[in-house]
Structure 1
Amino acid sequence: MAKVNGKYETIFIVNPNLGEEAITAIVEKFKALIADNGTVVSVDDWGKRRMAYEINDLREGYYTLIEFESLPSFPAELDRVYKITDGVMRSIIVCKD
């Protein structure tokens, strides 16, 4: 039986103090990682936003929302890469199915 792709969306917040080039590089890294392991449905750069509460003494973060389809095993790997990537302050992956 063939594995069925699931529909997911992920939001991650990048430290805005890294500078525009570093933020773009991190966003591109995750777009490429998701594309390599599934299908990117849409990417929505929300840009710099004020956060509800401080994280690491910062009041703002750079938000990116990506909707994608992948095998059910991939979100765990994506989460692992978020956790080891410098500059990613918070992330969440949600199954939309």
Structure 2
Amino acid sequence: MRKYETIFILHPSLDEEAVKANVEKFKGVIENGGGVIENVDFWGKRKLAYEINKVGEGYYTLVHFDANPELPKELDRVFRISDAVVRHIIVKNEK
């Protein structure tokens, strides 16, 4: 198991329930793929440094998790096909 962190930005037009549902969906992808979630930080609605597809703000969420090397590929695929995600990144923590 390796340590990873991901941060994703959800579209600002989503209501609070939809934001929570999307966060739970992504947590489920990690847990169902054999990963272990260490920490979830929901930062709330923040302004982006620059506009992405004419969107100037979004809901930020940071997740720290342990997983096998195949899980980030699946999580990346799920992020890419989700219309709610404005931007995401998955990083392997090296210590």
* Shorter-normalised TM range: over 0.9
The TM-score normalised by the length of structure 1 is: 0.92
Which structure has the larger Rg over C-alpha atoms? 1
CA RMSD of aligned residues (A): 0.8
Q: Percent of counterpart pairs with the same letter?
A: 56
The TM-score normalised by the length of structure 2 is: 0.94
For residues 4-32 of structure 1, the C-alpha deviation after alignment (integer angstroms, 9 at most, x for no partner) is x0100000000010211111110110111
Structure 1: 5+ residue stretches without partners:
none
Whole-angstrom CA distance in 2 between matches of 1:72 and 1:40: 15
For residues 34-74 of structure 1, the C-alpha deviation after alignment (integer angstroms, 9 at most, x for no partner) is 12221000000011011000012111110000000000111
Number of corresponding residues: 93
Please identify runs of 4+ aligned residues in structure 1 that moved more than 4 A: none
Structure 2: 5+ residue stretches without partners:
none
2:19 to 16, 19, 23: 23
Whole-angstrom CA distance in 2 between matches of 1:61 and 1:68: 22
